[in-house]
Amino acid sequence: SQQGEEDPQALSIQEGENATMNCSYKTSINNLQWYRQNSGRGLVHLILIRSNEREKHSGRLRVTLDTSKKSSSLLITASRAADTASYFCATGVNFQKLVFGTGTRLLVSP
Amino acid sequence: EPEVTQTPSHQVTQMGQEVILRCVPISNHLYFYWYRQILGQKVEFLVSFYNNEISEKSEIFDDQFSVERPDGSNFTLKIRSTKLEDSAMYFCASKQDTGELFFGEGSRLTVL
């Protein structure tokens, strides 16, 4: 299975702190993406990192990819209460389909 | 900003009934997808559709499921004879030719 597995399953932090979520996968990929899902809503694309990239930034987000370890991390800096959501990594082999991981539920308290 | 729209937002049906979930992908997108998410679980791939045909489908997408793009704008998912375990949130997604998927808000299906 290509499935990504995130850890931790749940993370609870205070506003202003950084949140780090990790994702591991099993097969070779050509891209890895992170999505956010507010409760009961659709998924929103956050960032895409290709297999030949090691790090990418977008605003308060920083994503790393280590293809030798088949793992990725998502760092959200200076978190806000509005960052409370579930975060999923998704792996793509050929840009045809994405396989989503199990997700990390992030709770940011004011 | 263009978005993927899905209808209905919630449908309740009796076991054994047929259900059609509708999606309007973003207009210049070429690839279309259905995913589902059982409450509290991960997002599961069902099917991808490109160039008017299914390009890939998962084990979940059995003979009870079908997809259609009848008129160049709508993209539908049909479940012929619903089962209790089909209860889930069904998400439509589309993309142009880059990797980013744009998701709709989902259709919640409840099978009684």
Neighbours of A41 (CB within 10 A): 16
The rounded percent of chain B whose pLDDT value lies above 70 is 100
| Domain boundaries, given as residue ranges, for chain A | 5-109
Pairwise CA distance, residues B6 & A30, whole Å: 29
Point out the residue among B43, B50, B97 whose CB comes nearest to the CB of A100: B43
Point out the residue among B33, B98, B100 whose CB comes nearest to the CB of A97: B33
Among A5, A88, A97, the residue to mutate for chain B (most B Cβ within 10 A): A97
Neighbours of A27 (CB within 10 A): 11
Sequential pLDDT tens for chain B (112 residues): 779 999 999 999 999 999 999 999 999 899 999 999 998 888 999 999 998 999 999 999 999 999 999 887 899 999 999 999 999 999 999 998 877 899 999 999 999 9
CB contact under 8 A, A100 and B35: yes
Give the angle subtended at the CA of A61 by the CAs of A59 and A62, to the nearest 5°: 120
Among A5, A53, A56, A98, the residue to mutate for chain B (most B Cβ within 10 A): A98
CATH topology of domain B5-111: Immunoglobulin-like (2.60.40)
Q: Give the model's confidence band at A95: pLDDT under 50 very low, under 70 low, under 90 confident, else very high.
A: low
Give A56 to chain B, closest Cα distance, Å. Answer: 15
Look up residue B64 and give its two tokens.
Answer: 């009870």
Q: pLDDT at residue A94 above 80?
A: no
CATH architecture label of A5-109? Sandwich (2.60)
Look up residue A24 and give its two tokens.
Answer: 């591991």
CB contact under 8 A, B104 and A31: no
Pairwise CA distance, residues B29 & B15, whole Å: 34
Residues A34-93 have pLDDT tens digits of 999 998 888 999 999 999 999 999 999 999 999 999 999 999 999 999 999 999 999 987
A88: enclosing H helix or E strand: strand A85-92
| Domain boundaries, given as residue ranges, for chain B | 5-111
Q: In a 3-state reduction of DSSP, which class is residue A82? A: helix
Amino acid at A25: Y
Q: Which residues contact A79 (CB under 8 A, 6 or more apart)?
A: A13, A15, A16, A17, A18, A19, A60, A106, A108
Q: What is the pLDDT of residue A1?
A: 44
